[in-house]
Amino acid sequence: MQEMSFEYGGYHFIPERRFTKREDDFFKITRRLKTDRELGFFATDYYGRGSQRFPYSYDDFYAASTDKKCDIFRCVENGRLYVPCQYELQQYMDGKQQEIPQGHTSMPRERGQNKERRNAYER
Quickly list DSSP for the chain.
-----EEETTEEEEEEEPPPTTT-SHHHHHTTEE--TTT-EESS-TTSTT--SEE--HHHHHHH-S-TT-SEEEETTT--EEEE-SSBEEEE--TT--PPPTT-SSPPPPTT-SS--SSTT--
pTM of the model: 0.72
Question: How confident is the model over 26-61, as pLDDT tens digits?
Answer: 888 888 999 998 998 998 877 778 788 899 999 999
Confidence of residue 2 (pLDDT cuts 50, 70, 90): very low
Q: Is the pLDDT of residue 63 over 50?
A: yes
Q: Is the pLDDT of residue 78 over 70?
A: yes
